Structure 1
Amino acid sequence: MEIANFGVEEWLNKWEKQAVYDIAQSSIEALTLEELIGLDGTTVETFFGERRQMPLDYGWIEGSDAFKEEVASLYQNITPENILQTNGATGANLLSLYALIEPEDHVISMLPTYQQLYDIPKSLGAVVDFVHLKEDDWRFDLEQLSALVKPETKMICLNSANNPTGTLLDRKTLEKIAEIARTVDAYVLVDEVYAPLTADGEFVSIVDVYEKGIATNSLSKTYSVPGIRIGWTAASSELTELFRKYRDYTMICGGVLADDLAVHVLKNKDKIVARNKKIVSENLAILKEWVLNEPKVELVMPNYVSTSFIKLAIKEDDRVFCSELLKETGVLLVPGSAFDLPQHARLGYCCKKETLEKGLSLLSEFLKKQA
């Protein structure tokens, strides 16, 4: 099976441990174990002390009942039986694509987006076409989608909010996408890992507007615990039953301790979301002010999610720029070429405030030296 190198992961694997000021990541500043456990007043000692005699067996294969109930409560039309625990959202995407995509299928994705959503279908033998987001506002073009859809289109594969731009497929757009998909009976998979930190209640899950929708998500971004590697699929009963067969080949279980931590996260999700909305709001204000005063950068503001995509007024290759930036200043960005859009960079602004402020200051100094 042929598959392209994963641009973002390949870049981060090479460079992130050398960063002093990491403003490349797309998560909101991770919670410490003590912060997470303490959200409801529990201590780390109490939490793990209560589990001292817990057998470290396989536990709940598809995720515990408590986990499924908590996840199902995030949706309007999904029952706990239709939730499957996975290894992060990447595992959820892999499971969905592995179960449904066959050679010669037609898949439509978006560009830019998370590379997994189009290169896994390609590796499975599918033909992939793209809706190219419009750079003036990174808007999803419904007319492009309508023109690309064919009778043989098997899946429309998207993410919302978008990685790397941080822009959203709002309810009206998503409902229209569902209408278009119905005309050819296509599935619509939406990686929703950046929900629900959106403004004005505009976010809606694909499974709440489309009967053949597949939602994938995890605790990594919005909930600030990427380290426990827990995600899920949410879909119809028919699709979930199909996924179960393929899941047996890709994942046995998430682990009993990870499941317990995931339940703790979800039971305290309101506290985490409130904490993270504050981080997003305050850091976005810093980013906006910096962009206003930085003549060599343009930015379509993200929709209160933790990733942004700056356009750089530079002459050299963006990979060269980003590698030289790191070597000279310790500031890490992800070059836009990793998303097939050169002369841009992913800037993750939801790190510690002092890291963001110093990183942006050094980035401006470096930009001033560019011809």
Structure 2
Amino acid sequence: MKIANFGVEEWLNVWENEAVYDIAGSSIASFTLEEIIAIGNKTKEEFFQELIIKKMNYGWIEGSPEFKKQVSMLYKNVSSEQILQTNGATGANFMALYALVEPDDHIISLYPTYQQLYDIPRSLGAEVDLWRIKEENEWLPDLNELNSLIRSNTKMICINNANNPTGAIMNREFLEELVKIAEKYEIYILSDEVYKPLENGLEIPAIVDLYNKGISINSLSKTYSVPGIRVGWTAANLEITDLFRKYRDYTMICAGVFDDYLATYVLKNKNAVLKRNQKIVSENLQILKEWIKKEPRVSVIFPRNVSTSFIKLDIPMETEKFCINLLKEKGVLLVPGNRFDMPGYARLGYCTYTETLKKGLEKLSEYLREFDK
């Protein structure tokens, strides 16, 4: 099995440890363990007393009953039995693709998006067509184009909603039209939903709540600000979930007793988590908007309170070289757009800690001024 290098991860693995101002990521500012405990109704002593007596066995293989219950409550019509715990959304995506994609299948993937969604199917022998997002359409793809891509052997459509790197959102109307197309041809829809929009009044349905052959993927890494415990999940109908169980046995035994405990604690206190994160996203997005107004060499289609943005750079230099020089000279880390096959752009993670964002944008502008001379 051959697979392409993972462009974004390869970039971050090489460069992120050199960053002074890391504004490349797509998570909302990560919690410390102390902050996680404080969002709930336990003291530190109570929290650790519960944890310290736990046996270090394999724990609950599919995730504890309470974890599965808490996750199922994130959806409209999903039971605990339809939830499988995974090692992050990365593990969930891999398991779903591993279980369903076979050689000679045809897969349609949103593009650019998280690289797993098109390169894992290719590595499994499937043929992949790319359903390209369009800047002139606020980074959404064209549903008419999707119709033209479908073949008799199309097995799955892979989407990322909201999109990484742009933050673009497929709203309910768009998703319902997408489901009509997939339903007509009995095609699975795999939806990586780790980027929940935190805009007040904006509710985006999960694909599992709209479509019987919809598979929703999520984790605690982005919207919930706890990437360090590596816990994600799949939500699908009972038949698909039962199929996944077999493949899960080959890819993961359990998430770990500590991880499950902490993940469940976060989900039980999700309202406090989301309130904290709504504030960060809203305030930091306003900082980004004010900076864009004053920065003549950068433009962007703003995300709707999603934790990633994709800026357009007006510079007379190859994008990756620009980002390396920016890091070395100013300590600012971005992800160059060519890592998404989009030279001239860069992923800017504006939902980092607010002071890091402010200083990173200041230093980015300092470096851009060098092109004005």
Q: Is the 8 A contact 1:187 1:213 kept in 2?
A: yes
Judged with a 3 Å threshold, the aligned counterparts in structure 2 of structure 1 residues 99 and 198 are, in CA distance, closer, same or farther, namely: farther
For residues 102-121 of structure 1, what are the structure 2 equivalents within 5 Å?
Answer: 102-121=102-121
CA deviation string 1:302-345 (max 9, x = no partner): 11111000011112211100000000000000000111111100
Cα deviation for residue 41 of structure 1 reads: 3.5
Counterpart in the other structure of 1:361: 362
| In the alignment, structure 1 residue 79 sits paired with structure 2 residue 62 | no
Judged with a 3 Å threshold, the aligned counterparts in structure 2 of structure 1 residues 233 and 33 are, in CA distance, closer, same or farther, namely: same
Q: Tell me, in whole angstroms, the C-alpha distance in 2 between the residues paired with 1:271 and 1:52.
A: 25
Q: Tell me, in whole angstroms, the C-alpha distance in 2 between the residues paired with 1:345 and 1:54.
A: 44
CA deviation string 1:134-174 (max 9, x = no partner): 11210221111111111211000010010000110111111
- TM-score, normalised to structure 2's length? 0.98
- SS at 1:201's partner residue? coil
Return 5+ residue gaps in structure 1 as ranges. Answer: none
- SS at 1:51's partner residue? helix
For residues 48-197 of structure 1, what are the structure 2 equivalents within 5 Å?
Answer: 48-136=48-136, 137-197=138-198
Judged with a 3 Å threshold, the aligned counterparts in structure 2 of structure 1 residues 196 and 290 are, in CA distance, closer, same or farther, namely: closer
Counterpart in the other structure of 1:302: 303
- SS at 1:110's partner residue? strand
Q: Tell me, in whole angstroms, the C-alpha distance in 2 between the residues paired with 1:256 and 1:33.
A: 16
Counterpart in the other structure of 2:43: 43
Q: Is the 8 A contact 2:218 2:232 kept in 1?
A: yes
Q: Which amino acid aligns with 1:355?
A: T
Q: Tell me, in whole angstroms, the C-alpha distance in 1 between the residues paired with 2:217 and 2:75.
A: 12
Cα deviation for residue 233 of structure 1 reads: 0.1
CA deviation string 1:82-120 (max 9, x = no partner): 000000000000000000001111111111111111111
Cα deviation for residue 197 of structure 1 reads: 2.0
- TM-score, normalised to structure 1's length? 0.98
Q: Is the 8 A contact 1:140 1:169 kept in 2?
A: no
Q: Tell me, in whole angstroms, the C-alpha distance in 2 between the residues paired with 1:151 and 1:18.
A: 49
Q: CA RMSD, aligned part only?
A: 1.0
Q: Tell me, in whole angstroms, the C-alpha distance in 2 between the residues paired with 1:146 and 1:119.
A: 22
Counterpart in the other structure of 2:34: 34
Comparing 200-209 with 186-195, which one deviates more in the overlay? 200-209
For residues 181-220 of structure 1, what are the structure 2 equivalents within 5 Å?
Answer: 181-220=182-221
Counterpart in the other structure of 1:278: 279
Percent identity of paired positions between Structure 1 and Structure 2: 61
Counterpart in the other structure of 2:25: 25
Cα deviation for residue 196 of structure 1 reads: 4.6
- SS at 2:99's partner residue? helix
Q: Which amino acid aligns with 1:148?
A: L
Q: Is the 8 A contact 1:86 1:251 kept in 2?
A: yes
Counterpart in the other structure of 2:8: 8
Return 5+ residue gaps in structure 2 as ranges. Answer: none
Q: Tell me, in whole angstroms, the C-alpha distance in 1 between the residues paired with 2:332 and 2:170.
A: 31
Q: Tell me, in whole angstroms, the C-alpha distance in 1 between the residues paired with 2:335 and 2:200.
A: 26
Comparing 150-159 with 326-335, which one deviates more in the overlay? 150-159
Judged with a 3 Å threshold, the aligned counterparts in structure 2 of structure 1 residues 238 and 309 are, in CA distance, closer, same or farther, namely: same
Cα deviation for residue 199 of structure 1 reads: 4.5
Q: Is the 8 A contact 2:319 2:336 kept in 1?
A: yes
For residues 318-333 of structure 1, what are the structure 2 equivalents within 5 Å?
Answer: 318-333=319-334
Q: Is the 8 A contact 1:92 1:233 kept in 2?
A: yes
Q: Tell me, in whole angstroms, the C-alpha distance in 1 between the residues paired with 2:110 and 2:42.
A: 43
Q: Is the 8 A contact 1:33 1:44 kept in 2?
A: no
Q: Tell me, in whole angstroms, the C-alpha distance in 2 between the residues paired with 1:20 and 1:37.
A: 28
Q: Tell me, in whole angstroms, the C-alpha distance in 2 between the residues paired with 1:13 and 1:97.
A: 24
Q: Tell me, in whole angstroms, the C-alpha distance in 2 between the residues paired with 1:141 and 1:9.
A: 28
How many residue pairs are counted as aligned between the two chains? 371
- SS at 2:135's partner residue? coil
Q: Which amino acid aligns with 1:19?
A: A
Q: Is the 8 A contact 1:199 1:303 kept in 2?
A: no
Q: Tell me, in whole angstroms, the C-alpha distance in 2 between the residues paired with 1:338 and 1:225.
A: 25
Q: Is the 8 A contact 1:22 1:359 kept in 2?
A: yes
Cα deviation for residue 21 of structure 1 reads: 0.3
Cα deviation for residue 198 of structure 1 reads: 3.9
Q: Tell me, in whole angstroms, the C-alpha distance in 2 between the residues paired with 1:30 and 1:174.
A: 30
Q: Is the 8 A contact 2:197 2:304 kept in 1?
A: no
Q: Is the 8 A contact 2:190 2:216 kept in 1?
A: yes
Q: Which amino acid aligns with 1:316?
A: M
